[in-house]
Amino acid sequence: MIHETSSTALTDRQRKLSQTVREFADEVVAPAAYQYDTERRLPIEIIHQMGEMGLFGLPFPTEVGGQGEDYVSLCLAVEALARVDQSIAVTLEAGVGLGIMPIFRHGTDAQREEWLPDLVTGKTLGAFGLTEAGAGSDAGATRTTARLDGDEWVIDGSKQFITNSGTPITSLITITAVTDRHEDGSPELSTILVPSGTPGLTVGESYDKVGWHTSDTHPLTLEGVRVPRTNLLGERGRGYANFLRALDEGRIAFAALATGAAQGCLEEAVRYAKEREVFGHSIGRHQHVAFTIARMQARVQAARLCWLDAAQKMIHGKPFKAEASVAKLTSGEAAMANARDASQIFGGYGFLNENPVARHYRDAKVLEVGEGTTEVQLMIIARDLGFTA
């Protein structure tokens, strides 16, 4: 449950939302999580239910079909889902932050009218194609190109690790591409909307991942892909700058996801430590087990306070880049540590995939990699402190 302080108090609406999503996660998502993890398939029926609940439209105004809430509300929903299934949580997090937000923020009226209605209601999903084999943290190394041929962009290149890019309901992918070169030779990066099914766009086979088996992740190949000139998203040459804003915001939601994973491990460990008996009493009576779980609680609370602080700064228009990195770093490490400790408390049962803590253990590693690695977060924090190394 959310434990508040005076500086991070939630509104009644936010508390109700958190409880509603928590109940949905426990009653609908959790019972199906092992099955879909084993099948390595995104349960579209659950995604549609989340859309009907308004989760994909949470941080968007009602005039575009959203719920008129804020980014804290989105993060609360992501955290509540991640307690039981990180794959479902990241589908929401990426669907909003990478699929919808760029179009809402930078799209033309025509683009917003065309794409937002189905995206904010969860009828369709959007993806963001940034990462390449040699370009991730270093987006300036992007090799995908887009050139104008009359009234069309012609796009060639490849992308990898693209979330929500190959689902049955994926409607479009926003692609970053080099559209020109500056005088100093540096790339002019722009973002272009590529509808699913466009000739020349090939969605590769789903990755064989360690974790997040239910999350949809594919490589993409673009060969002579042609889209209208009007599919340019935002100002030409501002693709990288626009992405950085989306990435900073995304780290907050990603931190909420990691906090939810850490919370889920904590809840499972508490339950098991009270139920499991050895030599006539529960294992929770052993000081080592009790102290391990106490540390897990401390990690969860620290992680939650970090993302709430970053989110509050963001929605109030204050600088939040460093705070987002602190939240992402703290929560990712908390999720990894809590997954390890919970698995240890469960013993052999913690090594079975049907056990939620085992899936958290597999899933949690990517929380130290996705949305910028731990090392990238340390670099950002160090720079904020005045260090240039």
**Per annotation, catalytic residue among 152, 275, 371, 375:** 371
β-bridge pairing 187-195 and 232-233: antiparallel
Q: How far apart are CA 231 and CA 102, in angstroms?
A: 13
Q: Collect contacts of 32-40 with beta carbons under 8 A, ≥24 apart.
A: 33/84, 33/85, 33/88, 33/214, 33/356, 33/359, 34/353, 34/354, 34/359, 36/87, 36/213, 36/214, 37/85, 37/87, 37/213, 37/214, 37/353, 37/359, 38/213, 38/353, 40/206, 40/213, 40/214
Specify whether 371 is catalytic.
yes
Q: CB neighbours (10 Å) of residue 294?
A: 10
Contact 250, 327 (CB under 8 A): no
Report CA-CA distances (Å) from 296 to 26, 75, 310, 377.
21, 21, 22, 22
Half-sphere exposure of residue 104, counting CA atoms within 13 Å on the CB side?
25
Contact 60, 126 (CB under 8 A): no
Helices of type H across the chain: 12-24, 30-39, 44-52, 71-82, 86-94, 101-106, 109-120, 239-275, 287-315, 321-346, 356-364, 374-384
Q: How far apart are CA 43 and CA 48, in angstroms?
A: 9
DSSP string, 324-383: HHHHHHHHHHHHHHHHHHHHHHHGGGGGSTTSHHHHHHHHHGGGGTTTS-HHHHHHHHHH
Q: How far apart are CA 44 and CA 91, in angstroms?
A: 11
287, two tokens: 């000081």
Q: How far apart are CA 304 and CA 13, in angstroms?
A: 18
Contact 214, 36 (CB under 8 A): yes
Q: How far apart are CA 179 and CA 191, in angstroms?
A: 9
Catalytic positions: 371
